[in-house]
Amino acid sequence: MRNNRDEQLFRDAFSQIQVNTNSLERKVRENMNIRKVINPVPLKRTGFAMAASIAIMLLISGTVYAAVTLGVFERFIIEQDPAFGEVVTPIEISAIDQGIRIDVIAAQSFGYNAIMYLSVRDISGQNRITEHANLIPTLNIPRDDERFMGAAIMGGHEPLYFNKETNTAYFQIEFQETASIPNSIDIIINEIRFDMRRTEADFPVALSSITEASTIPNPQYFSNPEFPTWSAERILTPTRGESFPDLQGDGWISNVAIMNGHLHVQLVTPRGGMPEAGGGRNTHGTTISGAMLSTSDGEWVAPVNQTFLELDKNLRALSISEQQNMAINDRIDWASAFPYQLMEVVFPIDITALDSYSLELLGMFEHSIAGNWSVTIYTNESDEQVRSSTGTITMGYAVIESITVSPLGVSFSGSINGGISAGVSSLGGNSVSIETPAGNILIIENPSIGFSEMYGEDAVFNGFARAELPINVTEVSAVMLGDTRIVVE
């Protein structure tokens, strides 16, 4: 009888509540921005009257949305125990298309970096999501310079867990940008890959029957003593050749020749840009990924040169000067203007024993679907969790102009006097550590570093040392880049 009386009190209380629906969305957003992530505790059973009181309090405070959906985040924290669960903001926003639901469970931006946890579930009953599922979100971030609008650099992408019972895959996604990532972020996902695996096929023609072929100057050749295998001075003439035998997918064998004791294998494939959103287009086939050469003893032959070029519809590549002028003066759709990618691999070979070699073509089998899974999320303010350096530090040819430390890792950027070779020689091989009261803590031995100008004398660079666990930035007094100590404020 007590439960019946409690239930009646509960219903009476709800009937007297008036919710201002006009301000509800604003209040929810404000509440999401100020919520703190707390360590989860085991849930205890409560009496019906206590549950009613809690529900009434939540309604009065205007946090209905948070009350209804908070369990998704807490359940994820308890079940998955993600590495950065203590520093992210609960989001819990969904997008559904093509019978697939994507949930952005949590996210957080820290200066130039951001992290996101999301799940992918097939709700159509087709069970298309497996442990091999994959997707690559991008961030749509408006910039003053239109050439960089919507640009985002993937810093880390790893599957966390696949639940066979619910047909759900969970992911941790990290982003690294060249400018600050705001607290309001548009996340765009236009393709989901259900399956991806490597396939192999023997080259259909004996190497002893291959002759020399015509060549052309490489329009993007540049001399680099430190990396002589990056670019060949001359390449085979691109052609619209034969499709891959036994691979039955996009791409073709453009040209093959034996010249000066070397085997040249030139392959062309569509660049594989993101499918258009909303089309629901399925892809099911193989795309070229490379070539491998081995001897009769099963020993692999290492290539002496590899050249990669982007080609237009006429199979023509821009020269270095044309490419630089276009990048400066025009904002174009590169995927449409240059729909093909050329790869030419050069192997040393004994021309007196050609039949003792085996050439294999490699492909990547892919099954995917296009759609529109796009959402806008709002994360908490994080200025207090980002620490930065002031002034500049010179390391060889590199001038470090900015260092930032966040729970996700250490970012650094600056300029290079002398081009990419000088930059690699100055920055390459330097480990990244943080200085704390407990001593120096190694973050990574070889951080990833990207350069903006591969061919010019003046280049800028961006580096990121990804932390395996959240960094307590309040304890960091300096960053050690190799033997160079950089104080952070």
Measured at the alpha carbon of residue 412, what is the angle toward residues 407 and 415, in degrees to the nearest 5?
A: 170
3-class secondary structure, 457: coil
What distance lies between CA 179 and its chain's CA centroid?
A: 16
The contacts found for 322-327 with CB under 8 angstroms, 24 or more apart, are 322/219, 323/220, 324/455, 324/456, 327/147
Q: What is the DSSP letter of 278?
A: T
pLDDT of residue 40: 29
- Which fold would CATH assign to domain 86-197+373-378? Immunoglobulin-like (2.60.40)
pLDDT of 402 strictly over 80: yes
First to last CA, the chain: 64
- Residue 95: what pLDDT? 95
Q: Give the residue from 243, 257, 256 showing the smallest Cα distance to 288.
A: 243
Structure confidence at residue 391 (pLDDT)? 85
What integer pLDDT is reported at residue 462 of this predicted model?
Answer: 84
In this predicted structure, the answer to whether residue 110 has a pLDDT above a threshold of 70 is yes
Predicted confidence (pLDDT) at residue 29 exceeds the cutoff of 80: no
Torsion, CA 206, CA 362, CA 198, CA 313, rounded to 10 = -140
The per-residue pLDDT for range 137-189, each reduced to its tens digit, is: 888 776 665 444 444 555 567 788 899 888 899 999 988 887 788 888 889 88
DSSP for 413-428? EEEEESHHHHHHHHHT
- List all residues 6 or more positions away from 59 whose beta carbon is below 8 Å from its beta carbon: 14, 17, 19, 67
Say if residues 394 and 482 touch (Cβ distance below 8 Å). Answer: no
Average pLDDT for 214-237: 80
**Rounded-to-integer distance, Cα 179 and Cα 114, Å:** 11
Choose the weakest-confidence range: 48-57, 69-78, 383-392, 446-455. Answer: 48-57
pLDDT the model gives residue 361: 82
Sequence ranges of the domains in the chain: 2-80, 86-197+373-378, 199-367, 386-487
Decide if pLDDT at 347 tops 60.
yes
- Binning pLDDT at 50, 70 and 90, where does residue 50 land? very low
Cα–Cα distance measured from residue 374 to residue 158, given in angstroms and rounded to the nearest whole number:
20
Specify the pTM: 0.64
Tokens (6 digits) for 62: 């205007």
| Total Cβ atoms within 10 A of residue 231 | 21
